[in-house]
Structure 1
Amino acid sequence: MKNMTRVVKLTAISAALLAVYGPVHAADDEVSQLTKPDSSVSVGLGYWTEDRPQLGIFDGMRESGAYGLLDANIVKRDDATGTWYTFSARNLGLESRDLKAEYLRQGNIGASIEYSKTLRDNPHLFLTGLRGIGTTNLIVSGAGRNALPRNEVELGTTREGTTLGFYKNLLPGLDFNVSFKNEEKDGTRLWGRGGAAEFAVEPIDSTTRQLEAVLNYTGERLQLSGGYNGSWYDTHNTLVDTIRQGDNPTVLNNHFFLSLPLDNEAHQLFLDGGYNFTPSTRGRFKVEYTHATQNERLPTSSIPGLSLAGAPSRLNGEVNTTLVQLGLTSQVTRNFSLGANLRYHDADDDTPVRRFVQANARCNASECVDNTPFSYKTLTGKLEGTYRLPQGYSLTGGYEQREDDRRIPVSNANGAGGRDTQRVVPMRSDVEERTYRLQLRRTLSETLGGSLGYIHSEREGSHFISAAAGPGGAPSDLINPINIADRDRSKWRLAMDWTPLERLSAQFVYENAQDEYGHSQARPFGLRDGSAELYSVDVSYKLNNDWKMSAWYSKDLTKANQRGQRAEIRNRTTGALELRAAEKDADLSDAGESVGLSVVGRATPKLKLGADVHMSLNRSKFDERIIRTAPDPVPGVAAVGPLPDINTRVTTFKLFAEYALRKDSDLRIDLIHERWKTDDWTWQFANGTQFVYTGAGTSAATFTDGTSVVANQRQISNFIGARYIYKFQ
């Protein structure tokens, strides 16, 4: 693929040379470019004037200051043997960087090695008395228990991956590829402790390994690709022990343990293929089988008194997944083509059901916890046909049916009333969805074409199996789960492509979707309806041979109406929180707008200039209100109004100038101005008071954790960078 990309790129360059120097010189230059590809190395320095915690989450330039700019792309070819040597490096002066070296003798043998480092910094600053951050032993501060002094803490993770690849041509049409990747992930991530809002930090120290070996066969009619995929996840931390400052560490009940993901592995065998029955008919197939296990010793089993007596020390988790897919496409007649696809997916969870937590002799509510393996089978069939009509029209119609057979999780023992204590929300054993598609295309003229499509789907299923509390009991049993609820969806899509001039082109897309969810008095909670709209316009214009510009605008709007229940209501008279059932209605919406303009061109034969402006606005609305309380009416219950909107705006201006010092070297200057602004209230209350983590307990003053979060809601920074670019062959 890389060689193909290189050839296409060089062919485009030679086509441009052909127009200037004529066919003879262009042909010579094309051969020269293929055998002597361009290479370049750039060295420079950049400077950010201010910290950028939000927009610098991934790029390794979060803090203000100077950064090295070093990139390289070196390509060499041995004409005598047809061997390519390539080396690429990106962002070598930054913490986030990529390097790759490759050796390839075309049609014979090749090898590669690749290294990458990726950062993910939390954009917030934490003021906390928590001690032991980054380790598996955390000491939690408490206001009434010798509170620890608060420190400024930043959280983030780092991924470092190394990939080795090997390629060998075994026979004509038969290739072998193998790759192995090792990735180390370290750092800290925001976490929580207990049922109340109490600050904790997850220590991350894990290794992920992946191995893939593939045989590819390409024949005149038959093409096959088969092999093996393996993955291994190993974590060096399995259990985090938290204790409050001043508590006696010898008392087990003073410790609060937090579990981490366990080691696991998966092995997959696969075979994909295609066969050309005739020049107009082709069949395709895919077969995969995956065996995944999780059998690490449970860390809780090594602490006396922590685990349930007699509970197993290992989960013995096992999931076997089978995938079979068949497809056929055919040009039945000159004007009619047909495609069919059948897909079978079976996820079989063979993990044994065992009890790990039991609070008393008889299980009620959540006092007993068994693992709940969940298996399902999905069969999907699809049929689609396209017919070419007169006057440039074409009509496409399709039908798809999906059937889910879901195994209902069952625990070892039942709770009160003989009901399964492990089922928190209602379940369905069978879910079926039917989808109809219709699309009309037409080329209106040589410069204008478009399409109009309509999709309608209907989802329904078997009767609901109640949750643990039984019909009409706990609020969780009244939920209409979004993923298996009855739903009707209709979607329209209009697309236009206009090229009135050779220099001007424009594309327009409009989409509209409407969802209606089935709900009843027995299960009124959950989504009731929703909608989504999208507008998108892209325009590009070539001013002349030296200058071109592009502009775009997009707007999306997603809405949903949701019915829920709230357990705590504040009493107007006393100000206390009362445990009362109250239904609430919420109209949720999320709107985004984005607009951009880009101009690039040559001011002189040696000077290239470019400018880019991008602005985006996202607005989230939470129109939530209480509509009924039980008992109804409830004296003294405060009215609840909508939460404030959250608005986030990002604006970026970029300018660059690239000047040719000599034929083989350039000087590039980059200027960037960016600003990020939000009124997100996640980490503060409506009155502007800063949110503070508080722990569980009878007295907030005694058990206060005291951690607060600093979220900078307005960030502005400027960047200037200079690079020297050297080009050679």
Structure 2
Amino acid sequence: MKTINTTFRLTAVAAAMLAAYGSAFAEDDDLKALTKPDSSISVGAGYWTNDRPQQGIFDGMRDDHGYALIDADVVKRDDATGTWFKFKGDSLGLESRKISVEVQQQGNMGGFVNYSRIPRENPLEIRSGIRGVGSERMTISGAGTNALPFHDVDLATYRDLIHVGFSKNLLKDFDLKLSFKNEEKNGSRHWGLGSAALFVAEPIDSTTQQLDVTLEYTGEKLQLAGGYAGSWYRNKNDMVCAGVKVNNNPVNCLTATGSASSPSSTPLSLPLDNEAHQFFLNAGYAFTPSTRGTLKVSRSVATQDETIPSIGLAGVNAPFVGAPHKLDGEIVTSLVELGLSSRPTSKLSLNANLRYHDVDDNTPLATFVDVPATRTSPRVIVHNTPHSNETKSGKFEASYLLPERFKLIGGVDFKDQDRSAPKFLDERYVPFAESIEETTYRLQLRRSMSETVNGSVAFLHSTRDGSVRVTPHDPHIFDAINPLHIADRTRNKWRMSLDWTPAEAFSMQFNVEDSHDDYAREDGRPWGLKDGRATLVSVDARYAFSDKWELTGWASHDVTRAKQLAGRWDRVTEIFEMSKDAKLEDRGNSVGLGLRGALTSKLKIGADVQWTRTESSYDEDTQLSGLGGLQATYPSDTTGFRATGARLPDIENTLTRVSMFARYAIRKNADVQLDLIHERWKTDDWTWNFANGSDFTYGTTTDGTVVSNKPKQTANFIGARYIYKFQ
């Protein structure tokens, strides 16, 4: 038998065919990954060695015990009908769990159901004799013969959110979308009476619902989306009654005794029921292939008409005769927004936007407090303060492509707001701006310096002015206060970014931001912010040693500074008593490193190190005036004008976290993973301490509740998982 050897030579035609269809084979692999994605289920357990009340806020693992670690990500597709089924479950064994189920038939219809539970546990340690936490009636600890046995009080809130949605293609270019959210919030939150140093917990038991109905049209040039959005808030609790039990008599807000300034029990109103309804229309139209216009129109009405819960009280807590039974609150919000974008040439792009936003508070003006005058005190009248504002704003931006791969971007933003002011002169304690104008100019230069380096630098300059100010009730004193949210201000801000990829194995991103605020005081208003400064520097880098090993790292540094001048006046005589010239600063530093690699074809390992430190400082120079009753409350030097008490100490928080994992493939579609974490958090926060360092105590002669935090929290975690993968 004759052996025939056939040799194929690579001709030009064969090379062309290989170039065309070789990439198609790779695309087939990508298409398979998209249409038949991997699914996985992970089941395991973990254990924390110590309590971690601070960091446990974020991951739902606060206490020193075991936790179930269950996650799932399942994706299936029915090729015959083009229907996708997706199920995703995160942290199913923890309080902070999430579940998502979605079914979607391409081009036809689909729906989803999402559930999430968000816990928020108070990290503070509270020892109190309070009774009734979680209810509307609470008995405060008391002191002396009225003291109650102390116990640990754990405060936490839990949000359970269910979100369902449905979409349907009605016609060729029309789609209907429905969405409904229901959130139940329960628990108790740290609270207080406000008028006295007594510990109270706010009971939380409310429901928030939201309904969205949208009809969309998608044409070749015209796109429309319009519909309805509604929200409803319902609070099952309406009023808290808190007081000290005296001689075993139950706390009773309905017929409280005592005096108006010191009642035997105190009622506190909780958030009242309210609802809002909005109709909206969004549109977009392509006038030409390079020019497009947009329109947004909406109108909403928010109301609150629940009966005020304190209206039925008697005794010293009874409302005055003629007090309104309801707020009858109504706020109407209107929005109109126009946008236009165009590219008249290949190098020039233009964007413009105009926006009108009107908030019309139609709530009736009424008297809610009316305390008759006495021999020693004047009559006190307090009204509600409906607040309306009308804002006209807009922006214009142009970008132009320059030679040498430069791109210049310039723009201007403006805002003009008219605001209502409190009607009654006696109820205005600071000057109130009825008109605010703010303008921002932006200039940015970008350049693609090479295939490996890209960068940009930007500068923003903005000014804010209040042209008309309403005078407070005592212009001699309070007109010198400059409220920070409406104060005249000049802001200059720089931004710089750089992306560097010198090789496929290495990349780095570098960012710098710096801004400076100057609050004008030449108008005779020295009290308030003087100036502010904020700086942020960050760098991220990645380096691949090989196809199997990779190192990542990042670092950031931020500083925020503010200078402000604060004053204090006697409440009755309005005599100026003291000033505080403060230099406030928040500083943060963070560093992180990550390593990923494969020791063998079956064993992968990784490690991460994170270190973060934040520091807040309060440098205050206190100057006493020598007048008013406050002088005796501060130790002073020989001049009698300067407080000699020590300045507030800095607050420093530090977090160090080291985590490692190892994943071993026991089969082609199954892995086991071991996780180890060491975590150390410490603080010297004095917020809940007295000046001598002792734990804060509510009303040592009336309550006695003690609040403290754990300044050092060190814990270790070990967890193991079994991960099953399938298609």
| TM-score, scaled relative to structure 1 | 0.90
| Shift in Å, 1:521 | 7.4
State the distance in 1 between where 2:475 and 2:639 align.
Answer: 24
* Residue 199 of structure 1: aligned partner: 199
Aligned partners of 1:436 and 1:457 also within 8 Å = yes
Q: Which residue of 2 aligns with 1:716?
A: 714
Superposed CA offset, 1:387-438 (max 9, x none): 1111111211111211010011214xxxxxxxx2322321011111111111
Q: Aligned-pair distance for 1:269?
A: 1.1
Distance in 1 (alpha carbons) for counterparts of 2:218 and 2:201: 52
Q: Distance in 1 between matches of 2:33 and 2:447?
A: 41
In the alignment, what sits opposite 2:367?
Answer: 355
**Aligned-partner SS, 1:725:** strand
The residue that corresponds to 1:331 in the other structure is 343
Partner Cα distance (2:462, 2:472) in 1: 28
Give 1:145 deviation, angstroms.
4.3
Letter in 1 for 2:492: S
> Which residue of 1 is the match for residue 311 of structure 2?
301
Question: 1:428/1:579 Cα in 2 relative to 1: closer, same or farther (>3 Å)?
Answer: closer
Aligned partners of 1:356 and 1:678: how far apart in 2? Answer: 44
Between the two proteins, the alignment pairs up a number of residues equal to: 685
Structure-2 separation of matches of 1:502 and 1:672: 32
Rounded to whole Å, the distance in 2 between the matches of 1:294 and 1:365 is: 32
Pair 1:590 & 2:586 matched = yes
Distance 1:349 1:270 in 2: 20
- TM-superposition CA deviations, 1:575-613 (whole Å, max 9, x none): xxx997111111000011111111112221111111111
Q: Aligned partners of 1:429, 1:368: CA distance in 2, in Å?
A: 24
Structure ID, larger Rg: 2
Paired AA for residue 532 in structure 1: A
Matched, 1:49 2:49: yes
Q: Per the alignment, do residues 631 and 422 of structure 1 end up closer, same or farther by CA in structure 2, a change over 3 Å counting?
A: closer
Trace 1:221-300 onto structure 2 (pairs within 5 A).
Answer: 221-246=221-246, 249=252, 250-252=255-257, 253-300=263-310
One-letter amino acid matched to 1:307: P
What runs of 5+ residues in structure 2 fail to find an aligned partner?
1-17, 258-262, 629-637
Q: Which amino acid aligns with 1:92?
A: L
Flag the 1:234–1:88 CA change in 2: closer, same or farther, 3 A. same
Cα distance in 1, alignment partners of residues 368 and 627 from structure 2:
38
**1:219-276 Cα deviation digits (max 9, x unpaired):** 1111222111111000011110111121764534322111110000011111112111
1:467 aligns with 2:472: yes
Which residue of 2 is the match for residue 607 of structure 1?
603
Using the alignment, how far apart are the partners of 1:304 and 1:410 within structure 2?
A: 30
Once the two structures are TM-superposed, the CA of residue 132 in structure 1 deviates from its matched residue by 1.1
Give CA deviations for 1:438-474 in whole Å, capped at 9, x if unaligned.
1111222221121111111111112321223x2124x
Q: Could you say which residue in structure 1 is the equivalent of 2:726?
A: 728
- How far apart, in 1, do the equivalents of 2:306 and 2:598 lie? 62
Residue of structure 1 in register with 2:635 after alignment: none
Paired AA for residue 611 in structure 2: M
Contact 2:622 2:642 in 1 (8 A): no
Letter in 1 for 2:384: N
Corresponding letter in the other structure for 1:46:
G
SS in 2 for 1:669: strand
Hey, what's the Cα distance between the residues in 1 that align with 2:344 and 2:641? Answer: 73
Please say if residues 624 and 640 of structure 1, whose CA atoms lie closer than 8 Å, have aligned partners that are also in contact: no
2:392 corresponding residue in structure 1: 379
Matches within 5 A, 1:135-534: 135-246=135-246, 249=252, 250-252=255-257, 253-304=263-314, 306-360=318-372, 367-411=380-424, 420-468=425-473, 470-473=474-477, 476-520=478-522, 522-534=524-536
Note the alpha carbon deviations across 1:603-637, whole angstroms, 9 max, x for none. 21111111111111100000012134144997376
Q: Do the aligned partners of 1:58 and 1:121 also contact (CA within 8 Å) in 2?
A: no
1:94 equivalenced with 2:94 (yes/no) = yes
**In 2, distance between residues paired with 1:604 and 1:442?**
43
The answer on whether the counterparts of 2:624 and 2:641 sit within 8 Å (CA) in structure 1 is no
Offset of residue 27 of structure 1:
4.5
Identical residues among aligned pairs (%): 51
Structure 1 residue runs of 5 or longer lacking an equivalent are: 1-17, 412-419, 570-577, 695-699
Q: 3-state SS of the aligned residue for 2:385?
A: coil
Q: Which amino acid aligns with 2:289?
A: P
TM-score by length of 2: 0.91
CA distance in 2 between partners of 1:636 and 1:398 (Å)? 51
Q: Distance in 1 between matches of 2:34 and 2:480?
A: 67
Matched, 1:677 2:687: no
Change (3 A) 1:32 1:465: closer
Tell me if structure 2 keeps the 8 A contact 1:560–1:589: yes
SS in structure 2 at match of 1:116? strand
C-alpha separation between the residues in 2 aligned to 1:422 and 1:628? 27
Deviations 1:122-145 (A, max 9, x none): 001101111111111111122234
2:717 partner amino acid = F
Alignment CA distance shift 1:630-1:518 (3 Å):
farther
